[in-house]
Amino acid sequence: DLAFAAKHAGVIQMADILPARRARGPNEPGGIKFGHFADMIQGDRKYPHDPARASLEVVGAGTMLFDQIWLGSYMSGGVGFTQYATAAYTDNILDEYTYYGMDYIKQKYKVDWQNPNEKDKVKPTQDIVNDIATEVALNGMEQYEQFPTLMEDHFGGSQRAGALAAACGLSTSIATGNSNAGLNAWYLCMLLHKEGWSRLGFFGYDLQDQCGSANSLAIRPDEGAVG
């Protein structure tokens, strides 16, 4: 079903039309609403005491649908998005980085991430974003440098950048309960990665992820509310 939907989307009514600024037709994979998408995956229902695993399920499905099928094939005609997106859901590298973040927020901030509740969430300040994202990013970069097979698996800079930033974003979001703090952790990780290794990936990847921090609270009218 998934392969058929990816290759023959025109014959299935799979989604709504996108906002006019980006729309190409009435039946686009990018037009699947996030709320519907969350209901399809149901990670929170399946893993109520493991928000990291629930979030990783969303990441895996999201990279497959939105990055590979929509951005990679539908919007840009197959330019290698597949390689960068598979890093998020093949093997357990992103999982390892994310669970390192879970251990860190439990040890330092006493966040009981296995029993999610609003009482032990950390206030989402820039200092908190800086601390968690830096810790998780540097751990991941050290792993890449320590294990050659890890670098062989994530052989492209974009793959490493995506996996590191996703772990930073998930760790910070789960610690604070604030999605925008997680977004800022993603972008901070990109900057740390660039400082440490001089580049992220090919130039397009560098471009969008170095300007993200400055735009993380600038919401265009068709993008809804800030998290």
Q: Encode pLDDT of 56-79 as tens digits.
A: 998 888 888 887 777 776 666 666
Phi-psi region of 26 (alpha: psi -120 to 50; beta: other; left: phi over 0): alpha
**Residue 227 belongs to some domain of the structure:** no
Q: What residue numbers bound the domain in which 193 lies?
A: 91-214
SS3 4: helix
**Which of 14, 48, 78 lies at the terminal end of a domain, its last residue?**
78
80-110 tens-digit pLDDT:
666 667 788 888 999 999 999 999 999 999 9
**Residue 86 belongs to some domain of the structure:** no
143-175 tens-digit pLDDT:
999 999 998 988 888 889 889 999 999 999 999
**CA 31 to CA 70: how far, in whole Å?**
9
Q: Specify whether 51 is located in the same domain as 16.
A: yes
**Which of 51, 78, 105 lies at the terminal end of a domain, its last residue?**
78
**Residue 83 belongs to some domain of the structure:** no
pLDDT band with cut points at 50, 70 and 90 for residue 206: low
Q: Specify whether 176 is located in the same domain as 98.
A: yes
**Residue 84 belongs to some domain of the structure:** no
pLDDT, residue 210, reads 77
H runs (alpha helix) in the chain:
2-7, 34-41, 43-46, 51-62, 81-86, 93-109, 126-146, 148-153, 157-176, 179-197, 203-210, 212-215
Q: Select the more confidently predicted residue: 38 or 192.
A: 192
Report the pLDDT averaged over residues 42-66.
Answer: 90
Model pTM? 0.85
Q: Specify whether 101 is located in the same domain as 154.
A: yes
**Residue 221 belongs to some domain of the structure:** no
